[in-house]
Amino acid sequence: MRLAPTLVFCGVLLGLSAVPGHAQDVAETILPDRPGWGDAAHVLGLGVTQLEGGLEVSFGRDANLITVGQSLIRYGMSGFEIRVLPGSIVISDEDQGAVDPAVGLKVPLVHGDGPQVSAVLATTLPIGSDIFSARSTTGAATLIGEFALTSALGLSLNAGYGFPFDDFDDGSIAIIVTPGLSINGVQGLSAYAGYAGFLMEDGNAHFIEAGLGWRRTRTPSWI
């Protein structure tokens, strides 16, 4: 599924997330990334693996869709994070199929005790089902700012541009504001839920998503 070219759209995603982390690392307990809309600025530390998966229900724009198996694999390296989105299955009233998988990197730009800023670069692989595939390799560049309002409440702002590699000008701008609230994790597990609404020229679109996350830390063997 592709959004209309050169279309500016705004979304608000309200998430309730549980992310295990150490008490001294407040940023790691606020606003995790998710396979759906909205990313946080925090970059995983070296040797940290985080897996997230869930489902999404979308409606509006003359279509009702259920997306299952949404997944995101994150792995922290020295100074950046590797990201893999294996893909998911979309079920509509008339069709079903796989969306394009994606790979990417997240790089911290500003980090510390105050607001954090990072950049995400990603590319999709056009190997999904014909009806849900972009049918060409696409790229995306997103700038993310994250602000801790309290020790448990945070706010992030995503501003990004997605584009086909064969026509950079034929892209879409996305601005997504994400409030998030952290709760205590249980044995490395986390949960998230959220809503996103988009105002578009061809009709409004609504997205409801939920899922689980799991985190593990292991020092790489080469250290």
Q: Which long-range contacts (CB under 8 A, 24 or more apart) does 115-118 make?
A: 115/145, 115/146, 115/147, 115/148, 116/27, 116/41, 116/42, 116/145, 116/146, 117/41, 117/143, 117/144, 117/145, 117/146, 118/41, 118/42, 118/43, 118/143, 118/144, 118/146
* Residue 19: per-residue pLDDT: 40
More confident residue, 219 or 66: 66
Contact, 97 vs 128, CB < 8 A? yes
* Residue 207: per-residue pLDDT: 84
* Residue 126: per-residue pLDDT: 93
* Residue-range domain boundaries for the chain: 8-214
- Residue 62: which pLDDT band, with cuts at 50, 70 and 90? low
* Residue 206: per-residue pLDDT: 85
More confident residue, 64 or 27: 64
Q: What is the pLDDT of residues 122-178, one digit of tens each?
A: 999 999 999 889 889 999 999 999 888 876 677 888 899 999 888 888 888 888 877
More confident residue, 205 or 191: 205
* Residue 102: per-residue pLDDT: 95
**Chain mean pLDDT for the chain:** 78
* Residue 15: per-residue pLDDT: 45
More confident residue, 82 or 8: 82
Residues 6 or more apart whose CB falls under 8 angstroms from that of 25 comprise none
CA angle in degrees (0–180, nearest 5) for 82-15-115 = 60
* Residue 149: per-residue pLDDT: 81
Flag whether pLDDT at 86 surpasses 90: yes
Flag whether pLDDT at 215 surpasses 60: yes
* Residue 141: per-residue pLDDT: 95
Q: What is the pLDDT of residues 3-40, one digit of tens each?
A: 433 333 444 444 444 443 333 344 344 456 776 777 88
Flag whether pLDDT at 76 surpasses 90: yes
Flag whether pLDDT at 84 surpasses 70: yes
Whole-structure pTM value: 0.80
The CATH code belonging to domain 8-214 is 2.40.160
DSSP 26-53: GGGGS----SSS---S--PPTTEEEEEE
